[in-house]
Structures are given as structure tokens and as C-alpha cells.
Amino acid sequence: MELTGRIIVVQEAKSGTSSKTGNPWMMQEYVIEVPGQYPRHCAFTVFGEDRIKQLNIQMGEDLTVQFDIDAREYNAKWYNDFRAYNVIRGQQIPQPVQPAKADLPFYPNNESFPFQENGDDGGDLPF
């Protein structure tokens, strides 16, 4: 999956040691804002010190983030995980789409409008 937008949050990197393997780990979290009439936000992580350095994601940067989505269970609750594996720089960010104006009926040459000025359209409806 991928999203194109602007990076609006860059968290501090977190690190530790795996309790299962004893190996060190590092991860960093980011938030991307996807433009639109109602902008959307997506938090994602980059896992691994080498990947964090390789991707080098910066605050305010416009880019496309490619990521995998997975869910995991912890104490009978499920948590979504969005893990970035690649970024693409230099692509255009889509501009917000303006909502379409309601299509109004067109009556050429002011031909008969379906309703009369007094509100009577000639029908048999009680209102």
C-alpha cells in the first residue's frame, strides 16, 4: 500500500533489546498528511537502524510512502501496524479535489419552469 503526502510529525527514535533474542532494535514513528477536502493522517513506523538511516525521512518533506499493514494481538486486544519499507521522492502531491457544484436544470430561453410563481405546479399533490 502507499500514500502520498507531507510528513507532519517525526518522533524521536526508540530503541531497546529484544527480550526473546537479546538483539538490539530501533524504530521511529512518523505521521503523513494526505491532502484532500478533508486531509487524512496516517501514522507509520520504520523499523531498524539501517532502514531509518537509509530512508532518511525529514519533517515537512513531500513523498510517497510504501508500507505493509499488519495487525498483532496483545492481551486480547488487536493493534494495527503500518511499517514503511520504501519512500519515493520527487512525485507530485495530488491537489485537493474541489466538490462538484450541484447540477442545476437548464431551461434554455427561459422556457416554462416546472413551478408557477404562486407555487402551484398544476399537479394534484396536497402540498
DSSP character at residue 100 = P
φ/ψ of 6, rounded to 5, equals -115, 135
Q: Is residue 6 part of a domain?
A: yes
Q: Is residue 45 part of a domain?
A: yes
Q: Is residue 25 part of a domain?
A: yes
Total structural domains within the chain = 1
In the numeric block, which cell numbers belong to residue 5? 503526502
- The predicted pLDDT at position 39 comes to 94
CATH number at residue 58: 2.40.50.140
Q: Is residue 17 part of a domain?
A: yes
Q: Is residue 107 part of a domain?
A: no
- The predicted pLDDT at position 107 comes to 55
pLDDT mean by block of 10 residues, the chain; 127 residues? 95 94 95 94 96 96 95 94 93 63 57 57 61
Contacts of 18 (CB under 8 A, 6+ apart): 24, 25
pTM, two decimals, is: 0.69
Q: Is residue 22 part of a domain?
A: yes
Q: Is residue 104 part of a domain?
A: no
Please state, in angstroms and as integers, the Cα–Cα distance from residue 38 to each residue in 64, 95, 104, 124, following that order: 19, 12, 25, 44
- The predicted pLDDT at position 98 comes to 60
Q: Is residue 83 part of a domain?
A: yes
Q: What is the dihedral of CA 13, 3, 58, 62, to 10 degrees?
A: -170
Distance CA 27, CA 72 (A): 17
Which residue range(s) make up the domain with 9?
A: 2-89
First-to-last alpha carbon distance for the chain, in angstroms, is 53
